[in-house]
Amino acid sequence: MERKTRQRAAIRAAFEAARRPLSPAEVLEIAQRDLDRLGIATVYRNLKAMVEDGSLAKVELPGEPDRYELAGLAHHHHFRCRSCERVFDVTGCVEGLRNLVPRRFRLEGHELTLVGQCGDCVRAA
Amino acid sequence: MERKTRQRAAIRAAFEAARRPLSPAEVLEIAQRDLDRLGIATVYRNLKAMVEDGSLAKVELPGEPDRYELAGLAHHHHFRCRSCERVFDVTGCVEGLRNLVPRRFRLEGHELTLVGQCGDCVRAA
DNA sequence: ATAGATGCAAAGAGTTTGCATAGGT
DNA sequence: ACCTATGCAAACTCTTTGCATCTAT
């Protein structure tokens, strides 16, 4: 992906406007508001290329389709609200990870998802 | 699923032999060693029924297809090998979870997935 | 004998790929 | 003008569903 295309600009703009992790379908929907001829294959190709060139990060949540967010954030995890299904970034990390790893296994990374209710939904309940 | 069929017995036996979370395709492969006429649709139907009756638990990992394991295990997490794609249970948990939660959010649960290489793949490398 | 479970194939949903062509350089 | 990136449609993968048949009770 060497050229600056309007498709790619619309995809990047979608993330800047949303400020939260987006699925490919959400990216298509948002970017099509500006570029109605945009095809889903182009979205997939650009998401893949943007992850490879480091401008996007893939957000994988248990039991959910992959989402993507703008890269450059510090190490963080995610909190998924069971009520509104929104996903939030949480900063910081936990301790004791290495103690969990079986002998001879090599730990290279980890993913943590917190689940519960976000502030808005706690207040509404 | 009220009847005792040989298909269902073979599926249950696959989990008892594997002792780790299995994907539908893995279940099919293992159970077909005993029952070669077993179809993938039957595997899916039985997995779904066994989750509903409480004999299996669904294991959802970030970016991975759903896997299943025998129910009734104590609180635990999972380790996914990047080389062979197998998933293993790890016992124990981490500390500091509550510190990550934003103010006013309510933490109800969490899912942790470790990623790396399993003992077999470390040795093979 | 009855009705639930199975096997196969087709249908869906989500993602990737082939190919002719628009469009960025 | 060149050649990359796009749009469309077909191909793929994973999962579910329809239906005739098998089989546990």
Q: Which residues of B touch A105 (CB under 8 A)?
A: 79, 81, 88, 116-119, 122
What residue of B is the nearest CA neighbor of A82? B108
Q: Give the pLDDT mean for A90-115.
A: 93
pLDDT tops 80 at residue B95: yes
Q: How far apart are CA B83 and CA B61, in angstroms?
A: 16
pLDDT in tens, A46-73: 999 999 999 999 998 888 888 999 998 8
Per-residue pLDDT averaged across B43-60, rounded? 95
Give helix B40-52 / helix B6-18 axis angle, nearest 10°. 80
What pLDDT shows up at residue A120? 93
Q: Which residues, listed in sequence order, are joined to residue B84 by a DSSP beta bridge?
A: none
Nucleotide nearest to A38 (CA to C1'): D7
The pTM assigned to this predicted structure is 0.85
What distance in Å separates the CA atoms of residue A104 and residue B19, rounded to the nearest whole number?
19
Q: Can you give the distance from the CA of residue B41 to the C1' of nucleotide C19 in angstroms?
A: 35
CB pairs under 8 A between A and B: 136
Mind listing the domains of chain A with CATH numbers? 6-70 (1.10.10.10), 77-124 (3.30.1490.190)
Q: What is the mean pLDDT of residues B86-103?
A: 93
pLDDT digits (tens, 9 = 90+) for B1-41: 889 999 999 999 999 999 999 999 999 999 999 999 999 99
Binary contact (B108, A116; C-beta < 8 A): yes
Q: Are B118 and B124 in contact (CB under 8 A)?
A: no
